[in-house]
Amino acid sequence: MNPQKLNEEVLAKITDAVSNLYNFRDHYFDNHPVNEATAKITDISKELEKTLQLLDEHKEECEKLDRAKYLMLKGRALNITSDYSPEAFEVLSRAVKFNPKLVEAWNELGECLWKKGDVQGARNCFERALKQCLNKTSLRNISMVLRQISQEPKEKIRNIHESVEKAKEAVQMDLEDGLSWYILGNAYLNLFFVADQSPKILKQSMSAYIRAMSDPAARSNPDLHYNRAVGLKYDEAYKEALESFEKAASLDPLWPEPVKTIEKIEKFLQQTQQMVYNKGNQKARKLQNFLKSLKLHHLGPYGKDSSSSSTGRRHNTFQHIKLCQLLPGVNQGKVVLGKVVGNIVTEDEVPFSFCLVDEDEACVSVTVYNIAEGKGVIIGDSVAIPDPDVHSVDFKYKDKHYQFTNIRVNTPLRLVVNGRVLSHDKHAAVRLDVTLTSQ
């Protein structure tokens, strides 16, 4: 066999070895039980050592054939962990110098710089890769970078919209790639927080995560389950959120955040259930005094023969009903009225939560999204809610049973407090402090 052919076979061999290294990582739980998750990092390190040894053994032959590709493969192998590798950076920097058109090398160097915290440097690398050819890896990496660049609020929103579009492009290039779907889910979830906390955007995020989980490689990623759980929490699908946080914790037992979040959700559910059951913990006489002060004019523009304060036109007719008459889902054309009897204190700013009691002493919890910090209602306020969106919380988790009714309000501008529609200053500005994993 001629030397050229032999060198080509050797290069193909080490290409397969690096690919197998990533398959070992990405499909680890296809071959190992979840209770061995603590051994994953050690096992990957052992496989990395074997791969690097093979690369070193065939360095001379491979560099004669294609030095840049050899260096890219070595850098890719060194890039297998989540930590920044100075050696990977040095090797990949040499690879792009030898061949500035090598797309894989630019993508790997970008990911290396991303781990270092050099977001702008990473972006430059991904853009250099895209200049060579359109590829899903660069598109989804640009999507990630756009969400991490520190900008003014308006520019931040533009960047996140662009992030969604780049992730969509990546998905369209390979509809079976779970990682691309995962990045799209993250982009939508970020958009949910910085735009207007729209349930539609949240559902788009959840749909993308579901598609991601159909890919076995993506399904083993604890970050996917964690970020999906964050979305489920804000979708108020608490049981599914707790289970998804549990999955993230099982896939990465050394990561404390999923367990801490589970504890926060349990505390919120317990507090909410207790306050609903005990009507905000108000004493009977004080509760009666609250309800005596509840008047029909507190319905404001949603009362009989009222007109809209913002448009001057009459609202469509709203029927005032009691809390016990609410049905699951959106109660179109209905309005409920009650007194705030307790605020539910949580560690998270979103949503703002309180308990509402009506004239029959029925009590529900209310969660309000997009409300400005410090602009919530207080105990004793009369609150009317048009088109109430009702969700029944009723599930068992571990040894506890959670059961209460909640009304979700997507914007405070729909609320009527003490007979007046809330003003626009009660609506939250852009939120930039979302706690998600980096992708």
Angle made by CA atoms 265, 268, 269, in degrees to the nearest 5: 85
Residue 257 has what pLDDT?
Answer: 95
Confidence of residue 437 (pLDDT cuts 50, 70, 90): low
Q: Is the pLDDT of residue 360 over 90?
A: yes
Q: What percent of the chain has pLDDT over 70?
A: 92
Count each helix (H run) and each strand (E run) in the chain, helices first.
16, 10
Confidence of residue 310 (pLDDT cuts 50, 70, 90): very low
The domain ranges of the chain are 3-268, 279-426
Confidence of residue 4 (pLDDT cuts 50, 70, 90): low
Q: What digits encode the pLDDT tens for the residues 73-128?
A: 999 999 999 899 999 999 999 999 999 999 999 999 999 999 999 999 999 999 99
Residue 435 has what pLDDT?
Answer: 52
The whole-angstrom separation of Cα 389 and Cα 376 is: 19
Q: What digits encode the pLDDT tens for the residues 202-257?
A: 999 999 999 999 998 888 899 999 999 999 999 999 999 999 999 999 998 889 99
The whole-angstrom separation of Cα 85 and Cα 246 is: 30
Contact call for residues 24 and 81 (beta carbons, < 8 A): no
What separation in angstroms does the CA of 289 have from each of 236, 282, 293, 318, 320?
Answer: 32, 11, 6, 27, 21
Q: Is the pLDDT of residue 34 over 90?
A: no
Q: Is the pLDDT of residue 35 over 90?
A: no
pTM for this model (two decimals): 0.86
Residue type, 355: C
Pull the structure tokens for residue 96: 């792009």
The fold of 279-426 is: OB fold (Dihydrolipoamide Acetyltransferase, E2P) (2.40.50)
What's the average model confidence in pLDDT over 56-70? 88
Is there a shared CATH topology between the 3-268 domain and the 279-426 domain?
Answer: no
Q: What digits encode the pLDDT tens for the residues 247-305?
A: 999 998 889 999 999 999 999 999 999 999 999 999 999 999 999 999 999 999 998 75
End-to-end CA separation in angstroms for the chain: 46
Count Cβ atoms below 10 Å from residue 177 Cβ, excluding itself. Answer: 20
Residue 130 phi/psi, 5-degree rounding, is -65, -30
Residue type, 404: F
What's the average model confidence in pLDDT over 32-57? 91
The whole-angstrom separation of Cα 95 and Cα 89 is: 10
Helix (H, G, I), strand (E, B), or coil: what is residue 203? helix
Selection from 109, 7, 12 nearest residue 62 by Cα: 7
The fold of 3-268 is: 1.25.40
Pull the structure tokens for residue 129: 């890769």
What's the average model confidence in pLDDT over 165-174? 97
Residue 328 has what pLDDT?
Answer: 95
Residue 433 has what pLDDT?
Answer: 44
Residue 370 has what pLDDT?
Answer: 86
Residue 146 has what pLDDT?
Answer: 93
Q: Is the pLDDT of residue 61 over 50?
A: yes
Most confident of 7-16, 169-178, 185-194: 169-178
Residue 426 has what pLDDT?
Answer: 77
Q: Which residues are registered as beta bridge partners of 421? A: 416
Q: Which long-range contacts (CB under 8 A, 24 or more apart) does 101-104 make?
A: 101/132, 102/68, 102/69, 102/72, 102/132, 103/129, 103/132, 103/133, 103/135, 103/138, 104/72, 104/76
Helix (H, G, I), strand (E, B), or coil: what is residue 152? coil
Average pLDDT value for the chain: 89
Among 373-377, 394-398, 431-435, the minimum mean pLDDT is found in: 431-435
Contact call for residues 408 and 328 (beta carbons, < 8 A): no
Q: What digits encode the pLDDT tens for the residues 405-435?
A: 999 998 898 899 999 998 887 776 555 444 5
